[in-house]
Amino acid sequence: MSGPGKMCLQRESLPAAVSLLAGREIVEEEALCLNVRGRLEHCDRCSLACHAGALVLSPDALEVNREKCTGCGACVPACPAGALRLNGFSPARFLEALEGGTEVHLHCTESEDDGGGMVVPCFKVLDERLLAAAAAGGVEVVHLHGLDRCQTCHHGGAMRQVARMRLRLKRWLDGEAPQLRPATGAVATGDGVRRRQDQPPLSRRAFLRFTGAGAIQEASRWLVPVVEEDEVPVLPFFQGDPDEYRQAHPYQVQLAQRADQVPWKEGVELPWRLRSLAQHCTACLTCGRRCPTGALQAKESGKSLGITFELALCTDCGLCEALCPVAAVTTHPVRLFQEVAAPRHLLMMRRQRDCEQCGVPFLPDEPGAIVCPTCSNESDLDEEWMAMLGG
């Protein structure tokens, strides 16, 4: 039913509810999306990683089609801005669960092998950054249970992602790279129980209270009629201040925290890129204000305008280069992990001065400039008019 004053059901579907309860719901943080922040079609990495075509990208929005999405999580590590996450997977807790183990067993949710180990939603949610960080904690061998089901899996299969992880780990770590081994059969570890160790444990009482409250809330959302005219209108695009929305990428920051312990291959280019700003930078501060991870940040102090940079937070998303109006951003390779641990530093600082005609602060184009560009243009026009009148 539709129309003013009529009743309707919420649009959430049963598959979306199942995904939520199974820890497979993709959560989008639109304010971090590169396309939305830049108001341009800059990045489609998440869409390319999605086998189901469930992602719709535009400069106005980041949308997930809940009917198509299978919750594999491939889009999560693919997004360089961290705008997508899987509600059933935490990179930090995943690495904590691997601490102290040299040989670990991972099961995807389609695995039918018996025995212990850790369950992840799908192997697509992993990437080489997490496994390199795991190597820093001593992990040498990773047994992957469930790869034999990839060809017929409704999640699209993870064989290509696993092959890519092997290649990149080999390039970064050479002989020290963790071995990724397809596994079948029982796992002779611990008490033989498979655990979702990437999620916080709940006591029995807490679990029952959580599920009870959650079931009531979700049931009310799906079954209780809602008056359409009372619905909050959806804005056509994100209208907030991007400078207030920034967040470290959960995969990149985990690797950065362990960069000094990762057995990097000598001379290899590390998965970070330094930034520098050319002398012709106009101090518009766009790169610092739009950076989704906070690697670049705008700095305003009194009449000074600046940009600071922290390498550990950079995912090389390229938005700063795409948005710079004067092509002043330059990238450089990183080969020493000590550079990743370096503190935030100043890339550029420009000092404004007050215009002697209008009093408005401006950035001098030349050292001796005393009037702002607006007043200068007006003065030039006045001179042209006087010349015309005099002629």
**Is 13 a residue whose pLDDT tops 50?**
no
Can you state the angle between helices 91-98 and 250-257, rounded to 10 degrees? Answer: 40
Give the pLDDT confidence score for residue 212 in this predicted structure.
54
User: Where residue 99 falls among pLDDT bands split at 50, 70, 90?
Assistant: confident
- Do 98 and 181 have their domain in common? yes
Query: For residue 166, with 0-12 CB atoms within 10 Å meaning exposed, 13-18 middle and 19 or more buried, which class applies?
Result: middle
Give the pLDDT confidence score for residue 87 in this predicted structure.
87
- Do 113 and 134 have their domain in common? yes
Higher pLDDT, 342 or 361: 342
Is residue 313 domain-resident?
yes
pLDDT tens readout for residues 22-45: 456 899 999 999 999 999 999 999
Please give the backbone phi and psi of residue 122, each rounded to the nearest 5 degrees, phi first: -165, 150
> Of 195, 218, 247, which marks where a domain is finished?
195
Give the pLDDT confidence score for residue 228 in this predicted structure.
44
Q: What percent of the chain has pLDDT over 70?
A: 76
- Do 129 and 71 have their domain in common? no
- Do 110 and 189 have their domain in common? yes
- Do 74 and 152 have their domain in common? no
- Do 151 and 64 have their domain in common? no
Is residue 236 domain-resident?
no
**Is 384 a residue whose pLDDT tops 90?**
no
Exposure string for 286-315, b = 16+ CB within 10 A, e = fewer = bbbbbbbbbbbbbbeeeeebbbbbbbbbbb
Query: For residue 357, with 0-12 CB atoms within 10 Å meaning exposed, 13-18 middle and 19 or more buried, which class applies?
Result: middle
Is residue 230 domain-resident?
no
Give the pLDDT confidence score for residue 252 in this predicted structure.
97
Average of per-residue pLDDT across 347-366: 82
Tokens of 311: 């390498």
Using the Cα atoms of residue 213, residue 218, residue 221 and residue 222 in order, give the sign of their dihedral.
Answer: negative
User: Where residue 243 falls among pLDDT bands split at 50, 70, 90?
Assistant: low
Is residue 288 domain-resident?
yes
- Do 139 and 173 have their domain in common? yes
Give the pLDDT confidence score for residue 240 in this predicted structure.
62
User: For the chain, what is the domain count?
Assistant: 4
Domain region containing 37: 26-86
Is residue 384 domain-resident?
yes
**Is 16 a residue whose pLDDT tops 60?**
no
> Of 173, 195, 217, which marks where a domain is finished?
195
- Do 98 and 170 have their domain in common? yes
Residue 346: HSE in the Cβ half-sphere, 13 Å Cα cutoff: 9
Q: Using an 8 Å Cβ cutoff, are 308 and 351 in contact? A: no
When the pLDDT of each residue in the chain is averaged and rounded to a whole number, the result is 82
- Check which CATH number belongs to the domain holding 65 and give it: 3.30.70.20
Is residue 219 domain-resident?
no
Average of per-residue pLDDT across 244-262: 94
pLDDT tens readout for residues 299-351: 988 888 999 999 999 999 999 999 999 999 999 999 999 999 999 999 999 88
**Is 9 a residue whose pLDDT tops 50?**
no
Give the pLDDT confidence score for residue 88 in this predicted structure.
82
Distance in angstroms (rounded) separating the CA atoms of residues 387 and 391: 6
Least confident of 57-66, 262-271, 311-320, 380-389: 380-389
Give the pLDDT confidence score for residue 320 in this predicted structure.
97
Give the pLDDT confidence score for residue 285 in this predicted structure.
93
Is residue 20 domain-resident?
no
Higher pLDDT, 315 or 100: 315
**Is 108 a residue whose pLDDT tops 80?**
yes
Average of per-residue pLDDT across 368-375: 78
- Do 74 and 106 have their domain in common? no
- Do 158 and 112 have their domain in common? yes
- Do 135 and 176 have their domain in common? yes
Give the pLDDT confidence score for residue 57 in this predicted structure.
94
Tokens of 50: 């999605």
Least confident of 127-131, 244-248, 251-255: 244-248
Is residue 363 domain-resident?
yes
- Do 112 and 67 have their domain in common? no
